Chain A
Amino acid sequence: MIVSGQASVPAPREQLWAVLSDPAALAQALPRVDLVSIEDGHRFSAVARPVTALGETSVALDFEIVEQRPGEYVRIVASGRSGENLLALSIALELADDGERTAASWRAEIALRGVLSSLLQRGIGELLRDQVESVLAAGAALSGADRGR
């Protein structure tokens, strides 16, 4: 499934990028996600706990930043497992100046195997959109916090 979206983020692009390219900051920004470990500057692991019809579902994910143009573009792939379910995700995020704000556009391709493919087929788009928008909003907040320091 391919999900895409756009957002206008109330933060300068460089500051937003600083948050998004920092796995520790990124994990902090992701709602219902716990950072497990940072392997290096490109790879990290996390546990996501999306809420589905079955309740909170724990998904262990390995992330890798596979492509980036600092300040402009990043593509992250993730693969994970939740019980008997498998998940694969590729998400590309593009940033552009928009006055004092940042114009963000993103496109994600997600594949699920197992019961989640059924449970989430109608909800995955919204779930992912919520996650991305939450990250951007949190990124904006964090960058704002940086500015305030």
Chain B
Amino acid sequence: MSTPSGETTYYGEVEQSERLGAWSGKSVPRKEDKRLLKGQGAFVDDLWMHRQGHVHFVRSPHAHARIISIEVSRAEAVPGVYATLTGEEVGELQQPFFQMAPEPAGLMRDYCMAVGKARYMGEPVAAVLAESAELARDAAALIEVVYEPLEVIVDGIATIERQAPVLHEEIGSNVAWHGVYDYGDVDWALEHADHVVRIDRLHFHRFSSTPLETTGALVNWDPGTGVVEFRSNNQMPMFAAMFIGPAIGLGIDHMQFSSQDIGGGFGIKITSYTYLTALALLSRKAGRPVKWSESRWEHLAASAHGNERTFLDIEVPVMSDGTILGFKVRAFDDAGAYLRYEPLGAVIWSQVVPGNYRFKHIRVDYTETLTNKCPVGPNRGYSRLQHLWLIERIVDIVAKELGFDRVALRKLNYVQPEEFPYETPNGCVYDSGDYPAMLEQALELIDYEGARARQLAGAGSGKRIGIGIGSTLDSGTNNFGQSRIINSALPFSGNGEAAVVRLDLYGEITVTIGTSPQGQGHETTAAQVTADILGCSPDLVHVVAGYNKAANTYVGFSGTYASQFAVTGLGAVMGAAERLRGEIVKVGACMLGAEESDIELADGFVRLAANPEAAIPFIGIAATVFANVAELPGELADSVTLNCRYVYRPPFTVPDHETKRGKLTLTYASQVHAAVVELDEETGQVTILDYAAVDECGRKVNPKIVEGQVHGATGHGIGAALYETFEYDSDGQLLNSTFGDYHAATSLDVPHIATGEVECPSPFTPNGAKGMGEGGGAPLSTIASAIEDALPPGAHVVYDSHNNAERVYELLRSAAAAGPRGVEVISR
């Protein structure tokens, strides 16, 4: 296969399984729902261990302060208090966490609690273990912490200035990472373009996920075996192990992770390893299991936030026909106080360098900075949604400033259907798609022409109508080799996921997977593909719920994240099921005295294709292999286990550290959203009148699950666009860390979502599916686009991804103010 230039070899198309179809592709009811809808799910707070104690973390009220002393004696004297743990102790018991950043940021000494200094409001400085959660909280109030407040920096750009207070003295500055991503020749493009559109500043705000279940864990350090059991809702346990193990001297064989049901994750629960570490240390000290359930304010203030990013000095070269040649930008990403998953965000965005467009010349000068705010972590659409929002803002602003129709401009610049697989300027390969068809469908769903008519008819009514479009990508299945773009010394590349499918003693088909689902329906979809391959009903397939390291298989990056289960997770299940099928066929052929080619699997039987009456149920195969093995020839008996493990491995290579080029991800699901909004001129209130979400994620394994994910991602994005934002004051105090002030979108805030679909099977995956569920933050782009469309002529550009009524009111007033609009056009 070749690129449009005819030079590059892609991965090559993958042979797609012909066995899928009887169950895959159908909206099979979710197996998980039987227990979840009856209130029989098992979440962290449902767990209990004999002798367990409850933990309360004492948190810093200061955003930046030296810890002079911590006095715990009054708390420890309270009857029922088992133990305390302070940062000072942690400094002795724990090695700093492994850092992915190169030096100097790689020198950061990050612990599970503040050691010597607190660097964000809400950072744990001590912990109390007591016989009840209430007692632990009361006792925590008796711990005396003496602080010396230090100067605070919360501005993600000003933090790199020389006079800014330095968070981590060992690093010497607040720059966590800096690099220039330079593709094509942007200087040439700016010189030769007919127009250059300059945008001063765009800002992507800080928000988070609000899972129903906050972070929590029940941890027991067994003093006899030395094994630490982590029953938690961490969503990427093997990643957590990579940090916890070296920090407190545990091998992977001494860390047991498990979870059953997880009440939402969205990425935010990946970085809970700091809390797991603290709980392990407390358990060892107290000699008893310890349990912790995060309160809502703790979750909002001190778990992890999504990345905040500011884009400065954006220059966009545009030809007179509307062809956008690319763009140039300086990006500042605010990582907060520590690098808990960062600086991976400094490269993850480059999976989608040109967005959905054929931009060829792109330079992004990227700086990741540290501030006195909650550390960031992956958050639905991690690091890509910020960049995709920038690109969609660029397209809309170019259209408005140069007088192009925003629909036509998109269609002109989109990667065209016939260009797939499409190689981006940085060497990524978009597998398949049809963005123009998706746009057409989205516009139809909102009655675009009708909306334009309503817009005209509404003029002068005090309500301004706007129509918005957001085109985004959900790149799924990471190549961890991209981490080497930020740090060439990191020993990671490729990716994989593992699964085991076995035929058990009495003919049961059991599947275990390496992932830790949080609502994505893995039990159902894994059962669907297994049923297809083994010729049985999904009802006969038992997919073990949740994750248990002792019972399930895993690889280094097992977990649920990065929109990859449909590819890596199901790829592993399919591989393992195929292996099991091969063994079943071998044994069945032997027992039926036939050739393997004469055998078919159907309805839970092994049978002769030519004579279905000659059939053996799966239990017969299992019983023979496990209990009547002398009936089989020795060679066959030695070669089958009916317990088949498979590791799915996408065909990645190692990206180039110097050029920052490579195949960073395998699949590219896409979204085109469209919305009609109404702005109230007197209040700035935004009302969504119509909303459409068109999704393309290859071949769907379970359409109903896909639709649910689309609804969830859309609701999350609408919430972020209009309601959800973290507000810090200049002292680093988070001003909205409860649901009283942080307005997470509810069903009352999310309008009816009309959904549409386009199916473009991925040629690179064995089931034609693409990872999906993160959604690329399309609503953030769409709402910003719609608001801008509704603004009067002369208004400032929509410069922020969060547009509450106050900000929209200011934008509406900006037209009359006739001040700077944040944009200028230079035409030749």
Chain A residues close to B by CB (< 8 Å): 53, 82-86, 111-115, 117-119, 121-122
**Nearest 9 A/B pairs, CB to CB:** A114-B61, A113-B61, A118-B737, A83-B141, A117-B733, A121-B735, A86-B61, A84-B59, A115-B297
Query: Are A115 and B741 touching (Cβ within 8 A)?
Result: no
Interface of B is mostly: loop
CA distance A86 to B740 in the complex (A): 21
Chain B residues contacting A121 (CB-CB under 8 Å) are 735-736, 741
Chain A residues contacting B137 (CB-CB under 8 Å) are 83
CA distance A83 to B141 in the complex (A): 4
Q: Chain B: which residue is nearest A85 at the CB level?
A: B61
Query: Are B736 and A118 touching (Cβ within 8 A)?
Result: yes
Query: Are B736 and A113 touching (Cβ within 8 A)?
Result: no
Query: Are B61 and A84 touching (Cβ within 8 A)?
Result: yes
Q: Chain B: which residue is nearest A83 at the CB level?
A: B141
Q: Chain A: which residue is nearest B742 at the CB level?
A: A118
CA distance A118 to B733 in the complex (A): 8
Known: A113-B121, A117-B734. 15 other contacts (CB 8 A): A82-B141, A84-B61, A85-B61, A114-B61, A114-B121, A115-B122, A115-B737, A117-B61, A117-B121, A117-B733, A118-B735, A118-B736, A118-B738, A119-B297, A122-B740
Selected from B62, B141, B301, the residue in CB contact (under 8 A) with A113 is: B62
CA distance A81 to B137 in the complex (A): 15
Selected from B140, B297, B741, the residue in CB contact (under 8 A) with A83 is: B140
A119 with B738, Cβ < 8 A, contacts A83-B140, A113-B121, A114-B121 known: yes
A117 with B735, Cβ < 8 A, contacts A83-B141, A84-B140, A85-B61 known: yes
Query: Are B738 and A53 touching (Cβ within 8 A)?
Result: yes
Chain B residues contacting A112 (CB-CB under 8 Å) are 733
Binary contact readout B282-322 vs A (1 if CB under 8 angstroms, 0 otherwise)? 00000000000000010001000000000000000000000
CA distance A82 to B122 in the complex (A): 14
Chain A residues contacting B469 (CB-CB under 8 Å) are none
Q: How far is the CB of A47 from chain B (nearest CB, A)?
A: 12
Query: Are B58 and A84 touching (Cβ within 8 A)?
Result: yes
CA distance A36 to B121 in the complex (A): 30
CA distance A112 to B121 in the complex (A): 12
CA distance A53 to B742 in the complex (A): 14
Chain B residues contacting A53 (CB-CB under 8 Å) are 738, 740
30 pairs, CB–CB < 8 Å, chain A vs chain B = A53-B740, A82-B141, A83-B140, A83-B141, A84-B60, A84-B140, A112-B733, A113-B61, A113-B62, A113-B121, A113-B731, A113-B733, A114-B59, A114-B121, A114-B733, A115-B59, A115-B122, A115-B301, A117-B61, A117-B121, A117-B729, A117-B734, A118-B297, A118-B733, A118-B734, A118-B735, A118-B741, A119-B740, A121-B741, A122-B740
Q: Chain B: which residue is nearest A115 at the CB level?
A: B297
Chain B residues contacting A114 (CB-CB under 8 Å) are 59, 61, 121, 733
CA distance A82 to B138 in the complex (A): 11
Chain A residues contacting B738 (CB-CB under 8 Å) are 53, 118-119
Q: How far is the CB of A110 from chain B (nearest CB, A)?
A: 12
Q: How far is the CB of B159 from chain A (nearest CB, A)?
A: 20
Chain B residues contacting A118 (CB-CB under 8 Å) are 297, 301, 733-738, 741
CA distance A121 to B60 in the complex (A): 18
CA distance A122 to B735 in the complex (A): 9
Q: Chain A: which residue is nearest B737 at the CB level?
A: A118
CA distance A7 to B140 in the complex (A): 40
Q: How far is the CB of B70 from chain A (nearest CB, A)?
A: 12
Q: Chain A: which residue is nearest B300 at the CB level?
A: A118
CA distance A117 to B301 in the complex (A): 11
Q: How far is the CB of A27 from chain B (nearest CB, A)?
A: 22
Chain A residues contacting B301 (CB-CB under 8 Å) are 115, 118
CA distance A85 to B297 in the complex (A): 13
